């Protein structure tokens, strides 16, 4: 028998009816038979899955309506077309069957030409639905694949840009990954907080984490004698160092302007690059913003960046202990940092330590 032949399951508690339907259908189809509703369900869930089911309504124990309800309730069988075959010819019975999900209704005694025509029609419709479903599944898979591919390219590009700044300062090798993880930790802690919930949805959190590596991209514009100076900067040198925030923000703004459509992570990256050195009390730079005027993304980055700077060795200072870094950040609550961001840091301090240790230099 041709393996490509459609499989038809016929269900009837009367052997004579099974025999009549079987003889009619076997020349063109693979036929399986069941003499009860329970047996029909077992066969429907076995391999091969029937392409169509001809189902008697009036059966003892479990009638056709109950069988159809079970088929529709099960993921593996809910899409199998079911044609009711019954001696009942009342309009109400037909309507009930169609409302439950039957695709057609054939009355007994059966007429071979009508049965074959309706079976073939439903098989053609099923084949068309299956083809469309396969095409949709392929398209969804292809969209997912390309989105993932674009995401990978985007992330690689971000890190490549960020490492331009990083190559100027060789002591910050894993700074990018640590600050990403610190940002994610703070965002997840604050996403249910009344002051942050409207902003920190999953899409924005993803953009925060993705854009975090670009926070110091502006350092590519700072001369080596200042960026790598082992001692304290002079007032003039410090003014030059501070320009990295605006340089980075402007560079990202140019990239954003070149994009044909808005790019979430660039919008967030621009805010972070410009404002992550702002302080809650207004004493930061470049815009001396105060309190809630500082973008939320920059407030999170400010704490993440300072914690990392404190706990890692730099050309201008040794690494601080975790406890000293903790004390400095807590003391900065309400002055350097948003108090609620500090509270989130305190709540997840153990996670910060774990991240620092996992991605140590």
Which of 38-42, 160-164, 227-231, 277-281 is predicted least confidently?
160-164
Average pLDDT over residues 131-157: 72
To the nearest 10°, report the CA torsion of 251, 257, 260, 264.
Answer: 60
Q: 262 pLDDT band (50/70/90 cuts)? A: confident
184 and 109, same structural domain? no
Residue 126 is predicted with a pLDDT of: 86
40 lies in a domain? yes
Average pLDDT over residues 285-310: 97
193 and 110, same structural domain? no
Residue 89 is predicted with a pLDDT of: 63
Residue 152 is predicted with a pLDDT of: 59
The CA distance from 251 to 41, in Å, is 65
Inform me whether the pLDDT recorded for 340 exceeds 70.
yes
283 lies in a domain? yes
Q: Percentage of the chain with pLDDT > 70? A: 89
Q: 149 pLDDT band (50/70/90 cuts)? A: low
130 and 199, same structural domain? no
Residue 182 is predicted with a pLDDT of: 97
Residue 1 is predicted with a pLDDT of: 42
Q: Which residues contact 25 (CB under 8 A, 6 or more apart)?
A: 8, 10, 31, 115, 116, 119
The CA distance from 11 to 82, in Å, is 11
Mean pLDDT of the residues in the chain: 87
Residue-wise pLDDT tens digits, 18-73: 999 999 999 889 999 999 999 999 999 998 899 999 999 888 889 999 999 999 99
161 lies in a domain? no
Inform me whether the pLDDT recorded for 205 exceeds 90.
yes
127 lies in a domain? yes
134 and 213, same structural domain? no
The CA distance from 120 to 23, in Å, is 16
Inform me whether the pLDDT recorded for 164 exceeds 80.
no
159 lies in a domain? no
83 lies in a domain? yes
195 and 324, same structural domain? yes
Q: Are 71 and 100 in contact (CB under 8 A)?
A: no
Residue-wise pLDDT tens digits, 250-259: 988 888 887 7
Residue 163 is predicted with a pLDDT of: 61
Inform me whether the pLDDT recorded for 93 exceeds 70.
no
121 and 236, same structural domain? no
179 and 132, same structural domain? no
Helix (H) or strand (E) holding 354, with range, is: helix 349-358
183 and 124, same structural domain? no
212 and 117, same structural domain? no
What CATH number is attached to the domain comprising 225?
Answer: 1.10.3210.10
Q: Which residues contact 288 (CB under 8 A, 6 or more apart)?
A: 278, 282
Average pLDDT over residues 132-161: 70
In angstroms, what is the C-alpha Rg of the chain?
Answer: 34
pTM: predicted TM-score of the whole model, two decimal places: 0.59
Domain edge (last residue) among 89, 122, 138: 138
Q: Cα angle at 307 between 304 and 311, to 5 degrees?
A: 140
1 lies in a domain? no
Answer with the residue of higher pLDDT: 162 or 116: 116
Answer with the residue of higher pLDDT: 175 or 311: 311
The CA distance from 207 to 212, in Å, is 8
197 lies in a domain? yes
132 and 33, same structural domain? yes
What CATH number is attached to the domain comprising 94?
Answer: 3.40.50.2300
115, β-bridge pairs: none
Average pLDDT over residues 135-155: 71
Q: 90 pLDDT band (50/70/90 cuts)? A: low
252 and 200, same structural domain? yes
Average pLDDT over residues 176-185: 94
Instruction: Note down the domain range covering 104.
Output: 7-138
Inform me whether the pLDDT recorded for 224 exceeds 80.
yes
Lookup: tokens for 128: 């068309």
313 and 179, same structural domain? yes
Average pLDDT over residues 223-248: 91
Integer angstrom CA distances of residue 208 from 167, 189, 215, 265, 314: 23, 14, 11, 7, 25
Number of domains the chain is built from: 2
The conformational region for residue 107 under phi > 0 = left, psi -120 to 50 = alpha, else beta, is beta
């Amino acid at each position: 028998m041709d393996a490509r032949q459609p499989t038809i399951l016929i269900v009837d508690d009367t052997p004579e009816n099974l025999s009549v339907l079987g003889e009619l259908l076997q020349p063109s189809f693979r036929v399986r038979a069941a003499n009860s509703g329970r047996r029909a369900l077992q066969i429907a869930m076995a391999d091969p899955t029937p392409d169509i089911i001809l189902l008697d309504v009036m059966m003892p124990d479990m009638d056709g309506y109950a069988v159809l309800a079970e088929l529709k309730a099960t993921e593996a069988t809910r899409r199998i077309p079911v044609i009711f075959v019954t001696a009942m010819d009342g309009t109400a019975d037909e309507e009930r069957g169609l409302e439950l999900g039957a695709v057609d209704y054939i009355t007994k005694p059966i007429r071979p030409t009508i049965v074959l025509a309706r079976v073939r029609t439903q098989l053609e419709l099923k084949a068309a639905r299956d083809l469309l479903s396969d095409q949709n599944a392929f398209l969804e898979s292809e969209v997912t694949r390309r989105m993932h591919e674009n995401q990978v390219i985007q992330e690689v590009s971000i890190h490549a840009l960020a490492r331009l700044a990083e190559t100027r300062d060789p002591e910050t090798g894993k700074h990018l990954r640590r600050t990403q993880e610190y940002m994610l930790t703070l965002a997840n802690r604050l996403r249910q907080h009344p002051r942050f919930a409207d902003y920190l949805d999953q899409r924005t959190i993803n953009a925060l984490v993705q854009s975090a590596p670009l926070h110091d991209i502006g350092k590519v514009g700072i001369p080596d004698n200042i960026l790598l100076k082992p001692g304290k900067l002079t007032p003039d040198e410090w003014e030059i160092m501070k320009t990295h925030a605006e340089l980075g923000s402007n560079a990202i703004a140019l990239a954003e302007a070149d994009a044909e459509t808005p790019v979430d992570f660039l919008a967030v990256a621009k805010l972070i690059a410009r404002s992550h050195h702002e302080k809650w009390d207004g004493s930061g730079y470049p815009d001396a913003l105060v309190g809630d005027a500082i973008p939320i993304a920059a407030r999170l980055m400010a704490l993440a960046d300072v914690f990392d700077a404190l706990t890692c060795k730099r050309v201008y200072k040794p690494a601080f202990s975790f406890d000293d870094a903790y004390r400095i950040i807590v003391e900065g609550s309400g002055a350097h940092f948003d108090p609620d961001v500090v509270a989130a840091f305190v709540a997840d301090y153990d996670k910060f330590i774990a991240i620092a240790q996992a991605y140590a230099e």
